[in-house]
Chains A and B, each alone.
Chain A
Amino acid sequence: MEDSPLHPFELHNFLSIHLGGLDISLNKAVIMMWVVVGLVTILMIKAGSARQLIPGKLQSLGEILVDFIRGIILDTMGKDGMRFFPLIATLFLFILFCNLIGLIPGSYTVTSQIVVTAVFACVVYGMSVVMGFVLHGAKFLGILVPPGTPGWLLPLMVPIELISQLARPISLAVRLFANMTAGHVILGVLFGLAVSGGLLIGWLPFAFTIAMNGLEVGIAFIQAYIFTVLTCVYLGDAFHLHGSEDHAH
C-alpha cells in the first residue's frame, strides 16, 4: 500500500466530529482548506489595506490577481458580470491556492478530491441555472435551442443541448480533479522511481520529478484559470441568453 502512486490521496481522520449525525471529522484535506483560507485572507487583506498609488510587492500581487480575475469577467460576461466578482474571485483564489499548496511535498491537494471539485461545479452550474430562470423565466429553456435552429430539428437539437448542458458540471468537476490527481500520480511514480533507482540511475527520474513539479505549478494556474473562465462563461450564458442583451464580446 505504501508504494501505490495513489497513496498520497488517502485520507485519515485524526479527529472524529459528528454534528447531528453528520460526520465532519477533521483530516488532512480539511486542515489544508483552513490553511488556504488563512493564507488567501492574510494575503488579500494585507494587499488591500496598503492602498498605495504606487503599489509595493504584496499590493502588486493582490492587484495582479484581482485585475486578472476582473479581466476574465469583463471578457466573458461584460460589465454586468462584475456583480459576481467576489464569488468568482474567491473561487479562483481558493482553487489556485489549493492547487499550489498541494505541490508542497507532504501537504495535501484538496482539489484532487472529486467531491470537492464536484461541489464547486454543482454550485456554479446550479447558480447559472437558477439565475437563468430568475432573469429570463421560462424563456431560459431556450438555452436548449441554439439560435437559428429550424423547427423540424428541435427533436434532435434539444436532447443534444440537454446533454451538453448536463455535461457542463461533470466536465468542470472531472477536469480539475483529474488534472490534479494525474499530476500528483506522475510525481509520485517518478519519485518512486528515483527512490528505488538508487544513486546511480535514480538522479534521472529525480530530475524529472523536479521538472514535473515546475510543470505542475503551471498546471495549477491553468486549471484554476480554466475553472474560473468556464464559471464565467456558464454564468454569462445564463445572464445574456443567446446574447439577447448586449454582450461585451
Chain B
Amino acid sequence: MPQFESHFFSSLIFWEVVSFAMLLFLLYKFAFPGILAVLEEREKKIKDSLDQAERHRSEAERKLKDYEAKLNAASKEAEGILAAAKERAQRLLEENEQRLTAEAERIKGDATREIDHERRKAIQEIRTQTTDMALMVAEKVVQRSLNDADHRRLADEALDALAKSSVK
C-alpha cells in the first residue's frame, strides 16, 4: 500500500503538526471566542425571553383572576342594587296607591258634601222663588175678587202644599 511508504512519513507528520497547530491557534484566537460568545448570548437571550414570557403569563393569569373577582363582585353588587331598586319601586308604588286612594276618598267625600250643600241651597232658593212666583201669579189671577184676608189664606195654603212636597 502506498500509505506505508515510510519516506513520506516525516514530511507528513511535520506538516500535519504544523498545520494543526496553526489551525488551532487561528481558531482559538479569532473564531471560537466569537462563535461561543454569540451562542451563549443567544442562549441567555432565549432563556431570558422564556423567563420573561413566564413572568408575563403568570402576571396575566393573576390579572385575569383579579378581573374575574372584580367582575363577580360588580355583578353581585349590581344584583343587589337591582333588588333594592325593585323593592323601593314596589314600596313607592304601594305608597302612591294608598295615597291616591286616600286622596280620592277625600275628594269624593268633599264632593258629596258640596253637592249636598248645593242641593239644599238650591231647594231653599227654589222654594223662596216659587213662593214669590206663586204669590205673584195668584195676585194677578185674583186681584180683583179677593180681599186681603183671602189673599193671605190662599198664600199660606199654597206654601204648606209646597213645603210638604219639598220635605218629601
Contacts and interface: CB of A to CB of B under 8 A. Distances in A.
B35 A66 contact: yes
Interface in B8-53: 8-17, 19-20, 22-24, 26-28, 30-39, 41-42, 45
A53 B42 CA distance: 6
A78 B153 CA distance: 152
Nearest to B38: A51
Main secondary structure on chain B at its contact with chain A? helix
B24 A86 contact: yes
Interface of B: 1-5, 7-17, 19-20, 22-24, 26-28, 30-39, 41-42, 45
B12 A85 contact: no
Contacts of B36: 66, 70, 85
Contact of B20 (A23, A30, A94, A177): A94
B27 A24 contact: no
16 contacts: A19-B14, A25-B11, A30-B11, A40-B27, A44-B31, A45-B27, A48-B32, A51-B34, A51-B37, A53-B45, A87-B24, A90-B23, A110-B16, A114-B3, A115-B9, A177-B3
A59 B41 CA distance: 14
A76 interface: no
Contacts of B12: 29-30, 113, 115-116
Which 4 pairs of residues, A with B, have the shortest CB-CB distance? A48-B34, A44-B31, A33-B19, A48-B31
Contacts, number: 136
Nearest to A7: B2
Nearest to A65: B35
A61 to B, nearest CB: 10
Contacts of A112: 3
A63 B38 CA distance: 9
A215 B165 CA distance: 144
A149 interface: no
A26 B3 contact: no
Contact of B39 (A6, A9, A34, A67): A67
A116 B26 CA distance: 21
Nearest to B43: A67
A41 B11 contact: no
B44 to A, nearest CB: 11
A71 to B, nearest CB: 11
> Which residue among B4, B5, B20 has the maximum number of chain A CB atoms within 10 Å of its CB?
B20
Contacts of A63: 35, 38-39
Given A9-B1, A11-B8, A113-B12, A41 B37 contact: no
